[in-house]
């Protein structure tokens, strides 16, 4: 089983698209998408310097366009990539590219959405001084506890001994002064605390834009950063990529799903390198390729031929987890949580996580049936802690 993955913000490097523009049709696709993204994708991918492409409003459209165009060059066909038996996943903004590759939305609508997402997140980041710090090594439970103790959020739980803490610069400074045992900290050069509650204004803007975009059910197995679940419908995927802006990226759950689905090979689309490193440490025995330049296409096509004709992936979890967006105390709605077996509607408020300075509601973005609660009323919970398991409607 082949996995095709699109990287997230921070993977871009100056000039990484230069060799790709020599391929027939590649520059034409980027030129057409530039108008939709509000960014000169060709210039930004070739001659722009590191500071310019670090800008969230530039980086995100550039990454999505690069991944989609490279996927088309890989197969010689425009997306979606029909006729393959493969799993598709994206890290953070890479989910928009993955969605287009799997056929949930068109590339043009992916560029329209990433424009709104990028500008909304850039504006939200500018409103409050926030940032992100990668925490490498250490015991995961100790790291998560230390992040929570400083009022930070585990914005990326990447597995392979890597968690990204996000929050105010003051809280990150306190965290750096007293790091968890046996860890190394690496401040990230990003504009703000992505995938945290600080991004709430961007969620609202993206939700409005997503409501205008038609969607289709994916033609390839498509994994979600929210919990590693396989997404079955275009409508669910749209809800998930909106919620993902202020929710932690669970790349660890995605790699676990890949293992359950029998992944045997992994191709990372350009600008490749980040995700291949994570997967190499998390999963053993995979054939792994970072598709960095057109020179790598021959090897990538050989992997397609060898690994994309396996039986369809059917072992991704049918159920989904609802997780806490931040730390606090769980309070059940009404007289108590609904019992296992109860049907719940999309958006139904099942409780809330109360925290100093505010909290957040616990509500699924899809209709489903409660399988089991993993917490009780009054329990303290940490950011990204699973709260309950749900079986979405439409499943066997």
Mean pLDDT value across the chain:
91
Is the per-residue pLDDT at 27 higher than 80?
Answer: yes
Catalytic annotation present for 92: yes
* Sequence ranges of the domains in the chain: 2-124+197-307, 127-187, 320-392
Kindly report the CATH class assigned to 320-392.
mainly beta
Residue with tokens 């053993």: 284
Catalytic annotation present for 247: no
Which DSSP string corresponds to 95-133?
HHHHHHHHTSS-HHHHHHHHHHHHHHHHHHHHHS-EEEE
And the tokens for 150? 């400083």
Please write the tens of the pLDDT for every residue from 120-131: 999 999 999 999
Report the alpha-carbon distance of residue 281 to residue 30 in Å, rounded: 33
Please write the tens of the pLDDT for every residue from 162-185: 999 999 999 999 999 999 999 999
Q: Are 157 and 384 in contact (CB under 8 A)?
A: yes
Confidence of residue 284 (pLDDT cuts 50, 70, 90): confident
CATH H-level superfamily of 2-124+197-307: Malonyl-Coenzyme A Acyl Carrier Protein, domain 2 (3.40.366.10)
| Residue of 91, 195, 247, 307 marked catalytic | 195
Confidence of residue 314 (pLDDT cuts 50, 70, 90): very low
SS3 content of the chain, % helix, strand, coil (to 5): 40, 20, 40
Q: Are 315 and 261 in contact (CB under 8 A)?
A: yes
Please write the tens of the pLDDT for every residue from 71-83: 999 998 888 888 7
CATH number of 127-187: 3.30.70.250
Report the alpha-carbon distance of residue 7 to residue 311 in Å, rounded: 26
Report the alpha-carbon distance of residue 262 to residue 379 in Å, rounded: 36
And the tokens for 367? 């209709």
pTM of the model: 0.80
Report the alpha-carbon distance of residue 213 to residue 260 in Å, rounded: 32
pLDDT of residue 394: 56
| Residue of 34, 73, 92, 246 marked catalytic | 92
Report the alpha-carbon distance of residue 165 to residue 248 in Å, rounded: 10
């Amino acid at each position: 089983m082949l996995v095709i993955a699109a990287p997230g913000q921070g993977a871009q490097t100056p000039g990484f698209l230069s060799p790709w523009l020599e391929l027939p049709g590649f520059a034409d696709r980027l030129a057409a998408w530039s108008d939709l993204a509000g960014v000169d994708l060709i210039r930004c991918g070739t001659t722009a310097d590191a500071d310019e492409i670090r800008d969230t409003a530039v980086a995100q459209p550039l990454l999505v366009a690069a991944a989609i165009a490279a996927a088309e060059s890989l197969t010689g066909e425009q997306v979606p990539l029909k006729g393959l038996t493969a799993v598709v996943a994206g890290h953070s903004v890479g989910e928009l590219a993955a969605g287009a590759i799997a056929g949930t939305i068109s590339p043009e609508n992916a560029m329209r959405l990433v424009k709104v997402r990028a500008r909304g997140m850039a504006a939200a980041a500018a409103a409050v001084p926030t940032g992100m710090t990668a925490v490498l090594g250490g015991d995961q439970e100790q790291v998560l506890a230390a992040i929570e103790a400083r009022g930070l959020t585990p914005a990326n739980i990447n597995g392979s001994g890597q968690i990204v803490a996000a929050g105010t610069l003051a809280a990150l400074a306190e965290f750096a002064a007293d790091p968890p045992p046996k860890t190394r900290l690496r401040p990230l050069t990003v504009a703000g605390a992505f995938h945290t509650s600080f991004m709430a204004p961007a969620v609202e803007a993206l939700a409005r834009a997503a409501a205008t975009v038609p969607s289709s059910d994916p033609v390839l197995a498509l994994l979600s950063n929210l919990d590693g679940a396989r997404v079955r419908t275009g409508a669910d995927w749209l809800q998930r990529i909106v919620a993902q802006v202020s929710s932690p990226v669970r790349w660890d759950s995605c790699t676990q799903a890949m293992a359950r689905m029998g992944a045997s090979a992994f191709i990372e689309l350009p600008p490749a390198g980040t995700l291949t490193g994570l997967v190499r440490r998390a999963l053993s025995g995979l054939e792994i390729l970072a598709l960095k330049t057109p020179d790598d296409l021959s090897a990538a096509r050989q992997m397609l031929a060898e690994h994309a004709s396996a039986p369809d992936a059917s072992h991704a979890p049918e159920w989904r987890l609802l997780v806490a967006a931040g730390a606090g105390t769980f309070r059940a709605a009404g007289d108590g949580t609904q019992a296992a077996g109860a049907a719940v509607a999309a958006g139904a408020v099942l409780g809330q996580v109360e925290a100093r300075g505010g909290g957040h509601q616990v509500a699924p973005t899809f209709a489903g049936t409660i399988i089991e609660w993993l917490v009780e009323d009054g329990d303290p919970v940490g950011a990204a802690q699973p709260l309950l398991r749900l079986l979405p409607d439409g499943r066997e």
